[in-house]
Amino acid sequence: MKFLKTTAIIALAVMAASCHNEGLRIEGNGSASYGQGYLSLAGLSVECVEDYQAADKNIEEEKSQLSVETRAAVDINTFDCSIINSQSEVVATYKYGNLPTEPITLDAGKYIFRIMSGEVAPAAWESPVYGIEQPFTINRKETTKLEDLVCTLQNIQVSVSFSADLRQMLSDTTTTTISVGENSLVYGIDETQSGYFMAVNESNTIEVLVKGLYTPEGKTEAAEFEMTASIDNVKAGQHSDINFYVEYSGEGSINIGATIDGWVVDELLAYEFSSAIVEDVIIEASQLPTIVLVDGDIDATLPLLASDFDDRGNCTKDVVVDIAAVGENTIASLVVEISSNNSELISSLSSFNIPTTFDMCNAGDAAMALRLLGLKVNENVLGQPSVSYTLTGQMDELFAFAGTHSFKVTVTDNKGNSNTKTLAIAVDGDVEDPALIWEGYDFSVRHNITAGFKADFLITSTSGIADLVVEIHSEAMGTSALDGVKLCNQLNLCYPEQSKWIEAIYEPDFDPASVDFDSSTVAPALTKLGLPSGDEVIGKKELPLSITYFLSMLTALGEGAHDFIFTITDAEGNVTNKTIMLYTPAAE
């Protein structure tokens, strides 16, 4: 999940820029008044340790031998240097390549010299940030010298890979979700990039979720699997290299293990949690609960045609699904997941108070709406040996939405046996393509940013994304704020160099020509802030994006409306326009 990250990412950048502007340049003048001293940076030498790994797998040697490599791509001269006093105030800022050669006059006291290559994003691909904070003290009429410093990784790096034999058994759709706190990235099975995560705490936990399809050797039928694990006590500067492998593979089952090599400068950490990430993915079919489409094939797409309805619009095709546990077993859970290539259907579910995923055994707030639709829930399903759903009446409502709609049903019995089938129904008609999907939310209304608000989106395109333009209009976030972070109010995520200033809806007097704007700064700014651009967008058939974890920062800008106008063009020239309308309420 990725695309409307623009909103809150800009808010984050605005805040970061405002903090940077608090810096005050203080030039050495060769003399100090009473209570002042000097800081000399003339002899300062900074090394950036970019890549480090164990030189040998032997534990004794691992701790003493580290391979250090400095990439030429990192230009230390561009690093930001700050002098911070004991009140956490920035009293001077410089670029490393432009440090003063004369002593700097400072009040006596304790300080921190901070050097950083950039701002740490919550979660982003290939976005390492290097730096160091070096405490020092200024004594009256004395000169303090800073000399040799080493910048190290300031975020958490995570790599994921699969052994060759395991890779052959898993589907191309297998994914690994890595989360640190609320920040996460989804790794494809062949992903070679490293993800970089903000170290929210001194000690952090990496959550691992792997799910996909597994096909045993010599078999053609694949089975779904899902497994989780945690890596504890992870700190900034650590690289966790996760490799999944086949621990055991037998008739109808597989055990998947994982080793995690983690290392930091001067310290090598090794993890082994194969026992914690083992999952049996296939059991005897005769023990599984059954999911059957009566007089039909549930594994085939069911067409829903105009000829299936009478003159009054009532469906004449019987659609009945029978679900049953085996033997004396009973139903313990019945989870339904709804998806569709028609975003209007997904959005409409929220108006009925129906989420896209729910358990018919414990339907919660959706129970009333499901009952009104004539569906059995809660005590009428939980503990029952079987249940039958006649869906003919629901076809009347579904026919209003063209496209293919999938109802993934997972039934689990009281013995833990589970089976999954998907009922796919195809309705004739034109489907919006490309599409912008916001599950559970209505594009036609403005949504307040409140506690628990979700801003997770998905762009889909059958032929692939050819162009993606986002206009940003905000009452609270003015054009000056965007300009301050080297962005503009019309961003082209496919071709950032084509980004430009346009007229602003909430600033009628704004003249785009009045801004001295260099569009070449957009791509680096987007990358620094964790937004995809260029090849990360072009040609993609699915582009998930999320700004949920940035929303609290957006509220810091104050009350106001925020409009994000998306223009999506696919490879065949089809264009879809959608507007995300948000509102930050006044602080209570």
The mean per-residue pLDDT over the stretch 333-351 comes to 83
User: Tokens 């959706």 appear where?
Assistant: 366
Nearest to 534 by CA among 467, 483, 471: 467
Predicted confidence band at 485 (pLDDT cuts at 50, 70, 90)?
confident
Nearest to 358 by CA among 409, 319, 399: 409
Instruction: Show the tokens assigned to 584.
Output: 């930050």
The mean per-residue pLDDT over the stretch 509-527 comes to 89
Q: Are 576 and 435 in contact (CB under 8 A)?
A: yes
371 three-class SS:
helix
* pLDDT, tens digit (0-9, with 9 covering 90-100), for 369-394: 899 888 999 999 999 999 999 999 88
Q: Are 562 and 21 in contact (CB under 8 A)?
A: no
Position 53 pLDDT exceeds 50: no
* pLDDT, tens digit (0-9, with 9 covering 90-100), for 197-247: 999 998 899 999 988 888 766 667 777 878 888 888 888 888 888 888 765
For position 65, what pLDDT does the model report?
Answer: 30
Angle at CA of residue 295, ends 294 and 296, nearest 5°: 90
> Do you find a cis peptide bond into 434, omega within 30 degrees of 0?
yes
Predicted confidence band at 255 (pLDDT cuts at 50, 70, 90)?
low
HSE (side-chain half, CA atoms, 13 Å) at 20: 17
Predicted confidence band at 457 (pLDDT cuts at 50, 70, 90)?
confident
Rounded Cα gap, residues 428 and 302, in angstroms:
11
Q: Bridge-partner residues for 180, per DSSP? A: 183, 206
What does pLDDT average to over the chain? 80
For position 218, what pLDDT does the model report?
Answer: 63
Rounded Cα gap, residues 535 and 166, in angstroms:
29
- Cα torsion through 278, 283, 287, 293, rounded to 10: 110
Rounded Cα gap, residues 511 and 101, in angstroms:
42
Ramachandran quadrant class, 353 (left: phi over 0; alpha: psi -120 to 50; beta: rest): left
Handedness of CA 552, 557, 561, 565 (dihedral sign): negative
Rounded Cα gap, residues 588 and 585, in angstroms:
9
Q: Which residue type does 369 have?
A: A
Rounded Cα gap, residues 23 and 25, in angstroms:
7
Instruction: Show the tokens assigned to 563.
Output: 């409009």
Choosing among 1.10.533, 3.30.530, 1.10.10, 2.60.40, the CATH entry for 31-152 is 2.60.40
Position 64 pLDDT exceeds 70: no
Q: Which residue type does 73 have?
A: A
Q: Bridge-partner residues for 448, per DSSP? A: 583
Predicted confidence band at 452 (pLDDT cuts at 50, 70, 90)?
confident
For position 385, what pLDDT does the model report?
Answer: 96
Q: Which residues contact 40 (CB under 8 A, 6 or more apart)?
A: 103, 104, 143, 144, 145, 146
Position 16 pLDDT exceeds 60: no
DSSP, res 504 = B
Three-state SS string over 80-131 comes to EEEEEECCCCEEEEEEHHHCCCCCEEEECEEEEEEEECCCCCCEEECCCCEE
For position 354, what pLDDT does the model report?
Answer: 87
The mean per-residue pLDDT over the stretch 391-407 comes to 88
* pLDDT, tens digit (0-9, with 9 covering 90-100), for 104-161: 999 999 999 999 999 999 999 999 999 999 999 999 999 999 988 989 899 999 999 9
Tell me if the pTM is above 0.85. no
Q: Which helix (H) or strand (E) covers residue 253, if one does?
A: strand 253-264
Instruction: Show the tokens assigned to 75.
Output: 């230009």
Predicted confidence band at 29 (pLDDT cuts at 50, 70, 90)?
very low
The mean per-residue pLDDT over the stretch 288-316 comes to 90
Rounded Cα gap, residues 367 and 359, in angstroms:
10
Nearest to 244 by CA among 168, 173, 300: 168
Choosing among 2.60.120, 1.10.3470, 2.60.40, 1.20.120, the CATH entry for 286-427 is 2.60.40
Question: In a 10 Å sphere around its CB, with 0-12 CB exposed, 13-18 middle and 19+ buried, how is residue 232 labelled?
Answer: exposed
Position 338 pLDDT exceeds 50: yes
Predicted confidence band at 283 (pLDDT cuts at 50, 70, 90)?
very low
For position 12, what pLDDT does the model report?
Answer: 35
Q: Where are the beta strands (DSSP E) in 507-554?
A: 542-546
Rounded Cα gap, residues 529 and 499, in angstroms:
16
372 three-class SS:
helix
Which is more confidently placed, 52 or 569? 569
Rounded Cα gap, residues 551 and 458, in angstroms:
18
Rounded Cα gap, residues 403 and 431, in angstroms:
6
Position 169 pLDDT exceeds 50: yes
For position 497, what pLDDT does the model report?
Answer: 95
Rounded Cα gap, residues 135 and 39, in angstroms:
12
For position 56, what pLDDT does the model report?
Answer: 31
Strand order in the sheet with 560-570: 447-448, 575-584, 560-570, 465-474, 490-492
Q: Which residues of 157-170 are buried (b: 16+ CB within 10 A; e: fewer)?
A: bbbbbbeeebbebb
